[in-house]
Structure 1
Amino acid sequence: MSNVKAAVFASGTGSNFEAIMNSENLACEIVLLVCDKPGASVIEKAERFGVQTFVANPKAYASKSEYEAEVLKTVREFGVEWIFLAGYMRLVGVTLLEAYEGKILNIHPSLLPAFPGKDAIGQALQSGATVTGVTVHFIDEGMDTGPIIAQEKVTVMPGDTEESLKVRIQQVEHALYPRVINNIVRRASLYPVK
């Protein structure tokens, strides 16, 4: 069992969370799920895996920074070193970015910089793109603008719907994200930043 602790942030069904949890020989231990949508089905998945959860509606806080201060306090209590965004539908603010600089990864269902933001799969179909894909990147204060770590292409087939394309993109995500997490965490353990 790794002594490197990590948290997954998710807002929805948690298919990438599940893929991370099911991956063998993960280079870190997922000790916490942070979810901003009470009632999201990812919460049940976390409970099934025995992962502690922090669930809060950001609208219940006076400001984004107040919400993030609470999240930050919680991840620090769990000794979290890395944060992996997996369908977390919020822009991460300065409170978390400064505390975890270079330690927050995101997965996005397009070949960034193409189709950033919400509904990347719909954007790809509407644009007539013949190729889209998956990007894992470090996050910064922008919307899907941080440094790219890895990308994998997915062909858009004639007659693809959002649902059929999403299924193929998620298959790639579920293989790529755990692999990238392992590479990044292992590399950081070998060459720690002083």
Structure 2
Amino acid sequence: MYKKILLLSILLIILGCSTKEKDNISQLFTKDDIYHISLLNTQKAQLIASLETKALLTATYLNPVFTKKNCKNFCVDVSGGEYFFVGVYINGSKINHFDDKGYFLTLNGMKPIEIKELDKDDPLRYEMPMVDNWSTYYKVKYPTVNSKKLKLVFESDRFGKDVLTFRKPKK
């Protein structure tokens, strides 16, 4: 008798908690294409001195992420140049501006055309991987590069440099 009541109550709980719409369940298991492609095109650079990280940079190459094929719900215009989503953390600094403290960011030896600091609630920050609250985030635009290899160099006057290598997507 107790077994039947226990079995019936477990069955009612399971059926009562299930959803009737398949869309709700499938939404839990769908792949976020922008996040996935962004993660594949993200790299990290560290400037280290005395076994301590002095500056940390995460860079996501945006051009392969926001192709026409990938743009469904959220799009960023990446025409007319090479675009990067860059996060910078400088140890011991309240403001993580890499362009005014002896830090430089170049792409194949070229300086950026435009550096736009992103707000805390910018939608691009929610789509990108490896975002934290300690870093300052930028959308950086460089001139179009004809080479298939892109070398993004994060450099400091005092702590050396680190090179990130990206590949341009095939057209």
TM-score class, shorter-chain normalisation, is under 0.3
Higher helix share: 1
Q: Is the strand fraction higher in 1 or 2?
A: 2
**Which of structures 1 and 2 has the bigger CA Rg?**
2
Question: Structure 2 length as normaliser, TM-score?
Answer: 0.25
TM-score (norm 1): 0.23
